[in-house]
Structure 1
Amino acid sequence: MAEQVDVVVIGLGVGGEEAAGRLAEAGLTVVGLDPRLVGGECPYWGCVPSKMMIRAANLIAETRRVDGMAGKATVEPDWAPVAQRIRKEATDDWNDQVAVDRLVKKGVTFLRERGTITGPGRVTAGDREFEASRGIIVATGTVPSIPPIEGLAGTPYWTNHEAIEADTLPDSIIVLGGGAIGLELTQVFARFGVQVTVVEGLDRVLALEEPESSELAQAALERDGVTFRTGVQAKQVGYDDGTFTLTLSDGSTVSAEKLLVATGRRVDIKALGLDTVGIDRDARSIAVDEHVRAADGVWAIGDVTGVGAFTHTAMYQANVAVFDVLRAEGAPPADYHAMPRVTFTDPEIGAVGQTEKQARDAGLDVSTAISQIPSSSRGWIHKAGNEGFIKLVVDNDRGVLVGATSAGPTGGEVLGALAVAVHAAVPVHSLQQMIYAYPTFHRAIGDALKAL
């Protein structure tokens, strides 16, 4: 006999954990299923430990900037305290008991099992079956997307998991992929003395961001000693005697002790039984409406929706799903026009909304303006490590920002003001009349506005 519950949540990454806990606290009977660690990628192999690595690497860079500004300083990089902090403070040695206890305390029945949908409102997990009167929430996230390169399978290549778990660093590494994750880890490794080569098949890194962001990031990492090979594909992987050798599409080769595959992530939904509720099991993501409904009685949240592979997106969608499951009156629909994102390199590159190309491709009449951080008062004062810019993308017909980029020493923090402007469609005229505190990095927003 199927056990009667209100909601079954399949997948307990940040979004699924949030939704399950809040629904249980609201008085519903909730079952949460996940064979992996509760909390998902972010606290164990993503956002949290990677930012600990970045913090450590940036301290090394800041120490090296002392010369000529505040005396003389030397630094000897040591990976051991970084690895120890990740293991002890961030991940509890990749043990999720604290997260499980937190979830159970809220009233969720947790099972470390895979969930399979067998029909409307019905889910099996191990030898148990549940019938959910309110519905099912799917939040199974993504897995690394490994390209079908000849010779890659069967080699001891790294994904983000092995990179985060490393107790020691190699002498050299090839990073396959020039997206945000690849570049963040690249800079960390380089600042700890690893010889890094980035191979990116497209003609620039951070290809989804503004071209100015790509140029800034590559130049910054080249100063850290990174070698870039852009516009070439990896055609073959060889591994022999502890060395990886990649043959590239132009006939050249690159070799290193380790190979990190950072070529994106993909959904893995074929075994979820989605077809039993009318959802395409072969789709690249689960399509959802403005209330994150994927089908009658089924909601999907987080990376699996393809909206944005960010923790903050999963949390946002969890909130939308909770209100809808609870049938709350006046619950606002999901709106992604002001999606923020940050690449935590040094300089940080924050962006919100549309890039200039995306806005033009959407048929908008666009104006843009750029101000340079080194030319701002705060940037001039900051001096060493002051690289960055503010770029604004304006819809001329509406007179509002539809996108913006904030790159610089605190690019992700300065982004907050721009995210509010895009989200609330604040008129450019109003932004031009604001008072911007002096001397701050965010005052460069005002400089960009003057250039419109």
Structure 2
Amino acid sequence: MAEQVDAVVLGMGVGGEEVAECLAENGLKVVGIESHLVGGECPYYGCVPTKMMIRADDMLAEGRRIPRFAGDSTVTPDWDPVARRIRREATDNWDDRVAVERFEKKGGRFVRGAGRLAGPGKVSVNGTTYEATRAVVIATGTSPAIPPIPGLGDVEYWTNREAVKAEHLPPSLIILGGGPIGLELSQVFARFGVKVAIVEGMNRVLAMEEPEASAVLATVLERDGIELYLNVHAKSVEPRGDAVTVNLDDGRQVTGDRLLVATGRRANLKDLGLETVGLDPSARFLEPDNHLRVGDRLWAIGDVTTNGGFTHMAMYHADIAVNDILGYPGPGADYRAKPRVTFTDPEVGAAGMTEEQARKNGINVRTGIQKASVTSRGWIHGPGNDGLIKVVADADRGMLVGATAMGPRGGDILGIFELAIKSQIPIDDLRHLIYAYPTFYRGVGEAVRNLGSDVHMPLR
């Protein structure tokens, strides 16, 4: 059976939901297709529930700091309130009825099922082929990437999804992967009394960010009792009674009650019918143009693209795609100041390029660094003041190309860096801003001054 509509959105995660709702509100006949939960990974297994977990572990950490500042305290971790809050407040017990009803009230039609591209402008699901006259939007998101480690299939491992749904915590946990997901969850569980070990193949945690941030974070994690196995890989996994043993390629073994796999994400593109629209069916990610087009009347947004990976990027893509579909003029995607935050304690926020990336791009690089602990606010804050501000400048142009803000609420400082990078604000202007005292934000000005006097806006 075939049916003609204006638009089909394949995947109703954060980005797809936004596109589908906006198009429906603009009077288009829209079909939204989702096989799992409307809203996607972020509200049910990612951003929202994990940040609830992090909020809880932050409170434990602050409670343990009370004796130095404000009297006596006894902190006894209890996971029950965290699990209850995630189940009731964040995920509605992993039920998406509210999200589905919201979309339908805006005029869209929702179909539960695994949709597949069936040719230009066509999507098939549950025996029906929808022919879209205006647009098909691919927004199928990602799933946990599971490495081909011998024996891994013989144990009942967790991904972020099982970790978020956990009602009870294991006495000990091994985490494969020292990226944002693994690090955030490691600190949560460690602060709730779990003995945690991280196995990371790179020579440092959070290897995609600045090495100075990695070093600070490693120190904090070890202070929290987390064991770091760096520059090693899991050679094999084997059950050992009720526990799990990971055999490392350097001969060591790590044993724990649970294993959490956090080794990255893979785009949900398998069996999607990409070949029917002229795209490579073996592609790991899709590469759209700056208006998110990947073909005639075909758009791709969010995590399935080469510049996704974050909820805010899916939202950004959704806005661009909607305007393009509706024929409204607007700027294309600009990733120069792409922000990202790892919500550990301390938070690691970054925008634009790292120093290494800038050098690889042939930029004449200068850097400025300011430790958070030696700023006035850091000194006042005391324990928990770990972090730094690092700015990366193009010395020839006198402008920032990247920055890192690490510390308490480090992600909240990113705004000035995004604006400076994208709008090409001269470093001289940043030097002469008035930075409120005493704030962590004031460290931005100090890091900029630490670039040196040879970095300035060239004379014209």
Fold similarity call, TM over 0.5: yes
Residue in 1 that maps onto 2:419: 420
SS at match of 2:154: coil
8 Å Cα contact 2:187-2:344 kept in structure 1: yes
2:348 paired with 1:311 = no
SS at match of 1:72: coil
Aligned residue identity for 1:48: V
Residue in 2 that maps onto 1:240: 240
Residue in 1 that maps onto 2:432: 433
Aligned residue identity for 2:406: A
2:187 paired with 1:187 = yes
User: Aligned partners of 1:101, 1:154: CA distance in 2, in Å?
Assistant: 40
8 Å Cα contact 2:180-2:206 kept in structure 1: yes
- Segments of 5+ residues of structure 2 without an aligned counterpart are 452-460
TM-score, length of structure 1 as denominator length:
0.99
User: Aligned partners of 1:74, 1:277: CA distance in 2, in Å?
Assistant: 61
Residue in 2 that maps onto 1:411: 410
SS at match of 1:89: helix
Deviations 1:55-90 (A, max 9, x none): 000000001111121112111000000000000000
Deviations 1:189-212 (A, max 9, x none): 000000000000111110100001
Runs (4 or more) in structure 1 with deviation over 2 Å come to: none
Aligned residue identity for 1:187: Q
8 Å Cα contact 2:152-2:237 kept in structure 1: yes
Deviation at 1:270, TM superposition (A): 2.6
Residue in 1 that maps onto 2:8: 8
User: Aligned partners of 1:223, 1:76: CA distance in 2, in Å?
Assistant: 18
8 Å Cα contact 2:301-2:308 kept in structure 1: no
User: Aligned partners of 1:409, 1:189: CA distance in 2, in Å?
Assistant: 19
Residue in 2 that maps onto 1:174: 174
Deviation at 1:306, TM superposition (A): 2.1
Residue in 1 that maps onto 2:204: 204
Deviations 1:283-326 (A, max 9, x none): 11011001000111110000000213100000000111000100
User: Aligned partners of 2:42, 2:270: CA distance in 1, in Å?
Assistant: 23
Aligned residue identity for 2:11: G
Aligned residue identity for 1:56: A
2:130 paired with 1:130 = yes
User: Aligned partners of 2:289, 2:326: CA distance in 1, in Å?
Assistant: 17
Aligned residue identity for 1:88: R
User: Aligned partners of 1:383, 1:419: CA distance in 2, in Å?
Assistant: 28
Deviations 1:238-269 (A, max 9, x none): 01321000000011100000000000001131
Residue in 1 that maps onto 2:31: 31
Describe how 1:160-171 pairs up with structure 2 within 5 A.
160-171=160-171
SS at match of 1:337: coil
User: Aligned partners of 2:154, 2:104: CA distance in 1, in Å?
Assistant: 39
Deviations 1:111-154 (A, max 9, x none): 00111111111111111111100020000001111010000013
User: Aligned partners of 1:245, 1:46: CA distance in 2, in Å?
Assistant: 27
Residue in 2 that maps onto 1:373: 372
User: Aligned partners of 2:384, 2:118: CA distance in 1, in Å?
Assistant: 56
- Segments of 5+ residues of structure 1 without an aligned counterpart are none
2:162 paired with 1:139 = no
User: Aligned partners of 1:410, 1:116: CA distance in 2, in Å?
Assistant: 41
8 Å Cα contact 2:154-2:238 kept in structure 1: no
Residue in 1 that maps onto 2:294: 294
Aligned residue identity for 1:139: A
Residue in 2 that maps onto 1:356: 355
2:40 paired with 1:40 = yes
More moved, 53-62 vs 394-403:
394-403
Aligned residue identity for 1:23: L
Describe how 1:75-154 pairs up with structure 2 within 5 A.
75-154=75-154
Alignment identity in percent?
Answer: 57
User: Aligned partners of 1:301, 1:68: CA distance in 2, in Å?
Assistant: 49
Deviation at 1:395, TM superposition (A): 0.7
Deviation at 1:450, TM superposition (A): 1.4
User: Aligned partners of 1:72, 1:423: CA distance in 2, in Å?
Assistant: 48
TM-score, length of structure 2 as denominator length:
0.97
Aligned residue identity for 1:441: F
User: Aligned partners of 2:323, 2:154: CA distance in 1, in Å?
Assistant: 45
8 Å Cα contact 2:288-2:300 kept in structure 1: yes
Deviations 1:146-167 (A, max 9, x none): 0100000132000001100000
8 Å Cα contact 2:154-2:239 kept in structure 1: no
User: Aligned partners of 2:221, 2:256: CA distance in 1, in Å?
Assistant: 18
Describe how 1:239-278 pairs up with structure 2 within 5 A.
239-278=239-278
Aligned residue identity for 1:59: M
Residue in 1 that maps onto 2:457: none
Q: How many residues align?
A: 451
Deviation at 1:49, TM superposition (A): 0.1
Residue in 2 that maps onto 1:284: 284
2:398 paired with 1:399 = yes
User: Aligned partners of 1:21, 1:97: CA distance in 2, in Å?
Assistant: 15
Describe how 1:219-230 pairs up with structure 2 within 5 A.
219-230=219-230
Deviation at 1:423, TM superposition (A): 1.9
8 Å Cα contact 2:21-2:103 kept in structure 1: yes
Aligned residue identity for 1:188: V
SS at match of 2:117: strand
Deviation at 1:360, TM superposition (A): 0.2
User: Aligned partners of 1:270, 1:207: CA distance in 2, in Å?
Assistant: 28
User: Aligned partners of 2:59, 2:280: CA distance in 1, in Å?
Assistant: 47
Aligned residue identity for 1:435: I
SS at match of 2:235: strand
User: Aligned partners of 1:378, 1:319: CA distance in 2, in Å?
Assistant: 38
Deviation at 1:429, TM superposition (A): 0.5
Deviation at 1:421, TM superposition (A): 1.3
